[in-house]
Amino acid sequence: MSGKEKGRGGGIGRGILASFVSALGMIVVPMVLVTYLPEVAGESVDLSAVTELLHRWMMTGAVLVVLAFPTGYFPRGSRGRIASVVLQFVAWLAWFAYVLNMGDLTGIVSIVSEGSEISVDIVLKGIMLMWVLSRALKVLVAFGDHHDNRRGFLEERGPADEEQRDDIRIGGRFD
């Protein structure tokens, strides 16, 4: 990989970094919550639904951690990068729908105190929509980067590059 490609990102180090950042949100934070939340909440608070959600979060989040690797590994301008960003977004949407139930966290917490029960239902649809919008705009940024770096990427990699076989230069434009 040339120095110019490094300027466009990419490489094993970037891939590991992308996975590490993803793992912070998908594995480390929920693991910390699962460990310490019951201690903080006390015995009267039934957090079984929360811990179940956090376990689901971690188990399925591991897939997203793996999928984060190619988004860092491929340099900007490569088709691998844009494909992995789109794939990661689609997988994230599926994770979001499965783990967070599209923000409908009905029955997430119940508190039992002196024989009486308090149940808490939380619906976070607006916040979740903002989260989806933020992620979708991130994909748009990736497409912008792809557009900006595509020509330079192809010039650096040359015709021997595997991707180049699919690229046809017509009238000075790269498709």
Partner 1 sequence: MKMGTLFRILRVLVMVALVVAVAYPAASTLTATDGSDIAVGIDATYDLGMMDADTLGDNIRNAVGDRTDCSVTYGQVTVPVTDRSADTVAAAVMSSGAETASVVGPDGEVVVQPSISYSDTVVQRIASGVVMPGDLHGSMEFAMTVGFESADGGIRMDCEAVSESNGKGIVYTVTVPHIVMAVAQAYGCDMVSGIHAGYMGLFEVDVGMGGETLEKLDFHYSEVAGVCTLVVTGCGVPESVGTIGGALFTSSPLGDVLTITATGGSLSEVLTGGMDDGRLTVTAGGDSYTMPADLSAAFVDTISLMEAA
Binding flag, residue 175, partner 1 (CB under 8 A): no
Helix (H, G, I), strand (E, B) or coil at 162: coil
CB of 66 to partner 1, least distance (A): 25
In the stretch 61-90, what mask flags binding to partner 1 with x, by CB under 8 A? ---------------x--------------
Question: How many angstroms separate the CA atoms of 139 and 125, rounded?
Answer: 21
CB 82 within 8 A of CB 147: no
In the stretch 105-144, what mask flags binding to partner 1 with x, by CB under 8 A? ----------xxxxxxxxxxxxx--x--xx--xx-xx-xx
Long-range CB contacts (< 8 A, 24+ apart) of 90-93? 91/63, 91/64, 91/67, 92/64, 92/135, 93/132
Binding flag, residue 43, partner 1 (CB under 8 A): no
Residues lying near partner 1 in the complex (CB under 8 A) are found at 76, 115-127, 130, 133-134, 137-138, 140-141, 143-145, 147-149
